[in-house]
Chain A
Amino acid sequence: MRTSLNELKQIEAFLLSKKKSPAFEMEMESNPDLREKVISQKIAYHLIKLFGRKLLKKDLNDLHYHLMHSHEHERFQREVQKIYPHHKI
């Protein structure tokens, strides 16, 4: 397990750092198994980003609802109502 976690850590350092290690790149070229692991990890990061976006969108929707319904934000509500007078709060 420890070896596997260390490998994840090494691949993470390669994928997430701006300066790519030439030694790691060379190893990847000669090791198809490692290359496959790097690709799977890159996809995993991308999926995590999509999950993060989905939840941030939900948070922003909650925030919108709060701004449109809370008494503290009446100025905001008036501005929006002026732009969309037919929208019912």
Chain B
Amino acid sequence: MQLVQDKASKQLRYDLDFPELYEDLFPKVASFLSKQGSSYDLARDIFQDAVIIYFEKVSHKKEEVDNPEAYIMGVVRHLWFRTYNENQQWVDFAGFNEEVAESVDEYLNPVQHKVMSLLERAGRKCLELLRAFYYQKASLHSIAGDFGFSGIRSATVQKYKCLKKVKDQVKKEEIDYADFFE
């Protein structure tokens, strides 16, 4: 299991201590959600989605979060609101935050899932490599080691070749820009 593996393992790791965060915050989030009437499974699901949104904020957008617990609880409230608001429109509620609402909107955009199968055609190894670099933010040095490349240069070339495969697939399938960004 990638998130709880031995630190000596060669598997790529995220630059966030997920086990500690999970152990500390899931009971707090579950306690809040159970009082709102959430099932156990839904509480787990909402918490995990909130953790992913938090990870992307700090790791991808490089934004500092002074109080991770408060941020994650805020995202949980927004996700809970969206789950139980049938018309899916934001309205004012205690703790509403426009920036968090935007992140939640982007995360929940259902159009995205239609095209996920296209990615598989680029090949598993390519996807793992691209994920390591662009999502997990692993260094090219560690990617070279983990994927068996002779060095950073060779890992870089392979990364671009894999990116080209995905890009060619996007072009071939005529995926529309508006499906994602408008």
Kindly list chain B residues whose C-beta atoms are within 8 Å of the C-beta of A62: 1-4
How far, in whole Å, are A70 and B160 apart by their CA atoms in the complex? Answer: 41
Check B115 against A48 for contact (C-beta < 8 Å). no
CB contact list, B6-40 vs A, under 8 A? 14, 18-19, 22-23, 26-27, 30-31, 34, 40
Q: With A43-B170, A63-B19 in contact, do A52 and B118 touch (Cβ < 8 Å)?
A: no
Kindly list chain A residues whose C-beta atoms are within 8 Å of the C-beta of B90: none
Q: With A43-B175, A62-B1 in contact, do A83 and B31 touch (Cβ < 8 Å)?
A: yes
Interface residues on B, range: 35 or more
Which of A9, A40, A63 sits near B4, CB closer than 8 Å? Answer: A63
Number of A-B contacts (CB under 8 A): 127
Check A61 against B48 for contact (C-beta < 8 Å). yes
CB distance from B174 to the nearest CB of A (A): 10
How far, in whole Å, are A4 and B161 apart by their CA atoms in the complex? Answer: 9
Q: With A49-B135, A52-B136, A67-B22 in contact, do A4 and B164 touch (Cβ < 8 Å)?
A: yes
Minimum-distance CB pairs A-B, first 8: A52-B135, A79-B27, A44-B166, A84-B40, A60-B48, A87-B40, A62-B1, A44-B167
**Chain A residues engaging chain B, CB cutoff 8 angstroms:** 4-5, 8-9, 12, 36-37, 39-57, 59-64, 66-67, 73, 76, 79-80, 83-84, 87
**Chain B residues engaging chain A, CB cutoff 8 angstroms:** 1-4, 14, 18-19, 22-23, 26-27, 30-31, 34, 40, 43-44, 48-49, 51-52, 55-56, 60, 107, 112-113, 115-116, 118-119, 127, 130-131, 134-136, 157, 160-161, 163-164, 166-167, 170-171, 175, 177, 180-181
